[in-house]
Structure 1
Amino acid sequence: MIDVGFFLEIIPKLLSGVPLTLQLAGTSILLGFMLALALALAQQGGHRRIVWPIRTFVAVFRGTPLLVQIFLIYYGLGQFRPALQTVGLWWLFREPYWCAILALTLNTAAYGSEILRGAISNVPRGLGEAASALGMSRLLTLRLVTLPIALRQAIPAYGNEIILMVKGTSLASIITLMEVTGIAQGLISQSYRAIEVFIAAGAIYLLLNFLIVRALSALEIRLTPYRTRT
């Protein structure tokens, strides 16, 4: 039988981890989007010396689990402390928070770059030719024609990536960050009531992702007013 009193006791504690969850997700998604866009644009030229390193990066981060990436960045690179201190990067890799941000950013950038690359490639070539005929430069065409259309087309797929990143923040608990899942694990060790705690934690993630989906749907409708609401 469900203990309502226990749920009312643990939910505020779990909610205290939401700000860190949103901070991890928001920062990594923002940084990852900027990196993904740069990688997607860099591949448009088709130069092998540029394309192949990017594709290797994408293959590595898409082909390995996020959990492994977090472990390697936090625990693996931490073994090179003297070298990192020499180049002034130890401040980054000694903090679990920044290691989690780095892992999440690189992971979402790998997926996001493929989403954006496909969206940019799907923009009709005739639009670029029309812009060129009007005297617009390549940079201006990219900024005013190609990117706005590509970004609108990428919203549904990139929305899925945002949701995956929010859920991916739960893995930050393995490097001692006390976001929602980290707090849930602490509550389980105290109460030995794993089912109730994880149900409450899952409900919080579900609510967060529901709000994100609604916000992305509203954004898509705003950017594509010719579409009807569903």
Structure 2
Amino acid sequence: MDLSFMQATLLTLLGGLPLTLHLTASSILLGGAGALVLALMRTSGIVLLSAPARAYVFVFRGTPLLIQLFMIYYGLGQFRPALQDLGLWSFFRDPYFCAVLAMAMNTAAYSSEIIRGGLASVPPGALEAASACGMRPLMRLRRIVLPLAIRQALPAYGNELVLMAKATSLASTITLMEVTGLAGKMIAQTYRAVEIFACAGLIYLALTLILTRAVLLLEWWLSPRRPRRQPAPPTICTTGEPA
């Protein structure tokens, strides 16, 4: 392998890293909000809410992300006149927005099941204690249920974050020049696939390492067994009276 070529390739591919990070962050934030709504709908016990959530999860977990991406970017283009009438064509003609929408909708389906598992793991005794203290349902959800559920779901959700970071490579199929898109462009110009894909893989490995370490740090911070800072003992004056 030509190390000087790989160094130049790595610097070129790093130019697509900001777009990769933007796609990852946007899809995770939007998908996380949607996942929480879907999980609450699934656990509501109301058929009118749980049934659409079940159908959504079934569809988006049962079809590949690449097909969903093509359906949104290429498929909706067939309805351009209707989208123009609704004022939505400027959104759906932009590949960035279509990629974010597809990935957010996909990760919302997977993450909702992770969050639902976390909600199911909340001990019933904690809910009974909160009710005995007079907490209303919304306060109980905010102060008891969600913190415990997030703590339980965080390890599995960390895997979903890594998968979404790598799934941004599919955005290159709709003309976005992120890391994989730049790699494909360079391969078409140089025909040196091994070195270029090796550099792209190193970038994704580094991104995955950062994400996994961040999740581990958050797990440690939320752990109930984390050592807490003890309050300092009161100082004693020379006269024998507490300060």
Q: Same fold (TM over 0.5)?
A: yes
Residue by residue over 1:143-192, the C-alpha shift from the partner in whole angstroms, topping out at 9 and shown as x without a partner, is 00000010011110000000000000000000000000000000000110
Counting only pairs closer than 5 Å after superposition, residues 120-199 of structure 1 correspond to structure 2 as 120-199=119-198
Inter-partner Cα distance in structure 1 for 2:226 and 2:45: 34
Structure 1 residue 85, shift from structure 2 partner:
1.1
> 1:106 matched to which residue of 2?
105
Residue by residue over 1:179-219, the C-alpha shift from the partner in whole angstroms, topping out at 9 and shown as x without a partner, is 00000000000110011100110010001000110111001
Residue by residue over 1:116-167, the C-alpha shift from the partner in whole angstroms, topping out at 9 and shown as x without a partner, is 0110011011111110011111110110000001001111000000000000
Inter-partner Cα distance in structure 1 for 2:44 and 2:173: 40
Q: Which amino acid is the alignment partner of residue 170 of structure 2? A: L
TM-score (structure 1 length as normaliser): 0.97
1:86 aligns with 2:59: no
Which has the larger displacement, 50-59 or 39-48? Answer: 39-48
CA RMSD of aligned residues (A): 1.0
Q: Which amino acid is the alignment partner of residue 93 of structure 1? A: F
> 1:215 matched to which residue of 2?
214
TM-score (structure 2 length as normaliser): 0.92
Q: Which amino acid is the alignment partner of residue 79 of structure 1? A: Q
> 1:35 matched to which residue of 2?
34
1:201 aligns with 2:200: yes
Structure 1 residue 227, shift from structure 2 partner:
5.6
Structure 1 residue 88, shift from structure 2 partner:
1.4
1:14 is paired with a residue whose SS is helix
Inter-partner Cα distance in structure 1 for 2:174 and 2:215: 30
Structure 1 residue 97, shift from structure 2 partner:
0.4
Inter-partner Cα distance in structure 2 for 1:176 and 1:29: 21
Counting only pairs closer than 5 Å after superposition, residues 3-42 of structure 1 correspond to structure 2 as 3-42=2-41
Inter-partner Cα distance in structure 2 for 1:202 and 1:62: 26
1:45 is paired with a residue whose SS is coil
> 2:54 matched to which residue of 1?
55
Whichever of the two has the greater Rg, that structure is 2
Alignment gaps of 5+ in structure 2: 228-243
Q: Which amino acid is the alignment partner of residue 125 of structure 2? A: G
Inter-partner Cα distance in structure 1 for 2:2 and 2:214: 33
Inter-partner Cα distance in structure 2 for 1:210 and 1:46: 39
Which has the larger displacement, 47-56 or 170-179? Answer: 47-56
Identical residues among aligned pairs (%): 57
Structure 1 residue 47, shift from structure 2 partner:
1.3
